């Protein structure tokens, strides 16, 4: 494995502030799998986009309106959703919230950002 971070302690990884005011931090990863935490203020948008990675997301805090390929649902704390490879998707934070996303394979574009 050329890209590997197998362990993470709370708050050891710095947050990356994104253009839209949200922030993310890459938690752990291998070439095959990556876990990333996203933090949203109330009303913040995760813009519609797509990528070749399969994504599974867990709502750790808050409530989000999630849209995947034109279908929407409100998902609250403790809920989850899956984004298939290539699916157009995005979120709106209905309140301050946090998502824990996993991607397969690794999102190399998130490393070094």
Distance from the Cα of residue 82 to its chain's centroid: 11
Q: What do you get for the CA distance between the two ends of the chain, in Å?
A: 20
Q: What are phi and psi of 91, to 5 degrees?
A: -140, 155
Instruction: Please tell me whether residue 35 adopts helix, strand or coil conformation.
Output: strand
Whether residue 54 contacts residue 104, with contact meaning beta carbons closer than 8 Å, is answered with yes
pLDDT at 11: 86
Say how many C-beta atoms besides its own lie within 10 A of residue 81's C-beta: 18
pLDDT (tens digit per residue) in 39-85: 999 999 999 999 999 999 999 999 999 999 999 999 999 999 999 99
The overall pTM is greater than 0.75: yes
pLDDT (tens digit per residue) in 2-30: 689 999 998 898 999 998 879 999 999 99
Cα–Cα distance between 40 and 29 in angstroms, integer? 22
pLDDT at 2: 66
With 80 as the cut, is the pLDDT of residue 110 above it?
Answer: yes
Q: Is 58 exposed, middle or buried (0-12, 13-18, 19+ CB in 10 A)?
A: middle
């Amino acid at each position: 494995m050329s890209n590997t971070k197998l362990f993470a302690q709370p708050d050891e990884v710095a947050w990356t502030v994104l253009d839209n005011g949200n922030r993310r931090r890459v938690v752990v990863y291998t070439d095959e799998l990556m876990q990333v935490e996203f933090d949203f203020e109330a009303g913040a948008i995760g813009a519609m986009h797509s990528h070749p990675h399969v994504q599974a997301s867990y709502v750790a805090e808050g409530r989000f309106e999630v849209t995947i390929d034109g279908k929407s649902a409100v998902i609250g704390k403790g809920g989850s959703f899956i984004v298939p490879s290539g699916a157009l998707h995005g979120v709106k934070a209905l309140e301050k919230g946090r998502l824990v996303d996993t991607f397969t394979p690794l999102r190399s574009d998130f490393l070094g950002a």
